[in-house]
Amino acid sequence: MTSFKSITLSFIIGAIALVLPSGQTINSITDFDTYECEVENQVFQDGERITYSMYYHLTPFWIKAGEVTFTITEMEDHYYVEAIGKTASSFEWFYKVRDVYTCQIDKETLRPIRSTRDIREGSYKKISKAEYDFTNNKIIAHTGKTYDKLKRVTIEMDDCMHDILSVIYHARNLKYENMEKGEVMPANIFLDDDKYNVGFKYMGKEKKKVKKLGNIEAIVLKPQLVAGYIFEEDTEMTIWASDDGNRLPLMIESPISVGSVKAVLKSYDNLRYPLDVN
């Protein structure tokens, strides 16, 4: 059975980033020259706080498995982003998760400056820290199980490199109105001491009903996934994001190796623009 580790870590945090943390090379995308590596923030603001509920479907019912909350704090030259993922209280007797992700994002380019991940899932623990040196095109990373025993590694940086949190806010600022249906957008992501060239396909627009919120006009995206212990071959994930100034992820849904999972927007505060709900 799929563990709560795989559900919480790989889906809740990763999927809301609009691309999955475990990716494969997209052979059709080799040129980042026409891609918006640096974008100006037009969609979020200081104090934005959004929370998602995570549901797991194996029986005829959807079961709430956890939550993740994203918060933004604006500093003088960067945005400080924090994401906290945790299992639902009803499951903590079985498998307790407390994942904390942080990232400092440059205010002018929305590229990452430094990031951290503190993963605590059952008996599993992992600490990751990374600094992004765009001048010398290097990533200095430290990983280990405790802060006093971190292993250092220096990695060559690829074009348009992002942290898994910075890519969320980068992707929200892309000009989807200029995209053709079926167009695939690339993203290079650094995660777990490795680099992933991944992408997501723009599938147009539709109205989406969100539980307890109502109907919201949305853009539809389909990330490329990789078959493995979470996803089956040819699995398709679908992401809906508000088709307004906020570009707010509303819902993510996908089958997995055993059952299905979805993340649903639960609450939001301090959005830059009013969310248009019908």
Q: Which domain holds residue 212?
A: 4-266
Strands 161-163 and 184-191: parallel
Q: Among candidates 123, 118, 117, 69, which has minimal Cα distance to 96?
A: 123
- What are the residues whose beta carbons fall under 8 Å from the beta carbon of 212, sequence distance 6 or more? 266
For residue 177, tell me if it sits in a domain.
Answer: yes
For residue 276, tell me if it sits in a domain.
Answer: no
For residue 20, tell me if it sits in a domain.
Answer: yes
For residue 205, tell me if it sits in a domain.
Answer: yes
Q: Which pLDDT does position 271 carry in this prediction?
A: 97
Q: Which pLDDT does position 35 carry in this prediction?
A: 62
Q: Which pLDDT does position 179 carry in this prediction?
A: 87
For residue 273, tell me if it sits in a domain.
Answer: no
What is the rounded CA–CA span in Å between residue 164 and residue 156? Answer: 17
Sequential pLDDT tens for the chain (278 residues): 334 444 444 444 544 443 333 333 333 344 455 567 888 999 999 999 999 988 877 667 777 778 889 999 999 999 999 999 888 777 666 667 788 999 999 999 999 999 998 888 777 788 899 999 999 999 999 999 888 888 999 999 888 889 888 988 988 998 888 888 988 887 788 877 788 777 778 899 999 999 889 999 999 988 765 444 333 444 467 889 999 999 999 998 876 555 577 889 999 999 999 998 88
Classify residue 33 as exposed, middle or buried by CB count within 10 Å of its CB (0-12, 13-18, 19+): exposed
**Integer angstrom CA distances of residue 104 from 33, 107, 118, 144:** 25, 9, 15, 21
Q: Which pLDDT does position 1 carry in this prediction?
A: 36
pTM: 0.84
DSSP 215-255: EEEEEEEEE----SSSS-TT---EEEEESSTT--EEEEEEE
For residue 275, tell me if it sits in a domain.
Answer: no
For residue 272, tell me if it sits in a domain.
Answer: no
For residue 277, tell me if it sits in a domain.
Answer: no
- Provide the number of structural domains found in the chain: 1
What is the rounded CA–CA span in Å between residue 210 and residue 53? Answer: 12
Q: Which pLDDT does position 186 carry in this prediction?
A: 79
Q: Do 122 and 5 meet the contact criterion of CB atoms below 8 Å apart?
A: yes
